[in-house]
A = this chain, B = another copy of it.
């Protein structure tokens, strides 16, 4: 029943994860009380992020710079690379201050049902990084699911010839749970208690 611009905005917002139609309506109404201060900065921030953020050419993290600020940080231990399924998990580990090395975003997990094979994952770039940069330990921080375990096995086989130590997070990670919804303490503890495969 509302005219174009309001309804259009509500329906775009309500597609965001975590925002239903009701919350989207409430958010739009709140922003419309002070559009210059609430809507235009958000529009600018969306545009700035869309224009500047891209995947890091080294690790696959999303950042305004490539190499990203983590790959570019001289205080990071480059001999330690942590393999994650996606950027959400990378961010979660960063929030937990769990890792002082660098990352590698795999871009998914092996999945027979989902039809994801090794060629869909960033495995060859990982092998190249390990060989080119003298990486000493590869920490597999994949979820404790069937697909995560399958991917752990596969990566262990593929990475063994490099001579790097291969570890995975301690079983403090709940079975079937996603990494990025865990509290920081659990994540940090599981990280610390990682063990050799």
> Interface of A with B (CB < 8 Å)?
1-6, 8-9, 12-13, 16-20, 22-32, 35-36, 39-50, 52-53, 62-65, 68-69, 87-88, 91, 94-95, 181
Could you say which of A17, A41, A43, A62 has the most chain B C-beta atoms within 10 Å of its C-beta? A43
Q: Which residues of B sit under 8 angstroms from A64, Cβ to Cβ?
A: 3-6
Q: Which residues of B sit under 8 angstroms from A94, Cβ to Cβ?
A: 1-2
B16 touches A30 (CB 8 A): yes
B18 touches A36 (CB 8 A): no
Q: A1-B94, A39-B50, A40-B46 are in contact. Are A88 and B29 (CB under 8 A)?
A: yes
Q: Which residues of B sit under 8 angstroms from A29, Cβ to Cβ?
A: 62, 87-88, 91
CA distance A162 to B44 in the complex (A): 49
B26 touches A18 (CB 8 A): yes
B53 touches A47 (CB 8 A): no
Q: Which residues of B sit under 8 angstroms from A19, Cβ to Cβ?
A: 16, 18-19, 23, 27
Q: A6-B62, A19-B18, A29-B87 are in contact. Are A43 and B50 (CB under 8 A)?
A: yes
CA distance A62 to B2 in the complex (A): 9
The chain B residue with its CB closest to the CB of A181 is B22
Q: A47-B40, A50-B43 are in contact. Are A3 and B35 (CB under 8 A)?
A: no
- A155 vs chain B, min Cβ distance (A): 23
A41 touches B12 (CB 8 A): yes
- A32 vs chain B, min Cβ distance (A): 5
B30 touches A17 (CB 8 A): yes
A45 touches B12 (CB 8 A): yes
CA distance A93 to B18 in the complex (A): 25
CA distance A4 to B40 in the complex (A): 17
CA distance A8 to B45 in the complex (A): 7
- A44 vs chain B, min Cβ distance (A): 7
Q: Which residues of B sit under 8 angstroms from A95, Cβ to Cβ?
A: 1
The chain B residue with its CB closest to the CB of A13 is B42
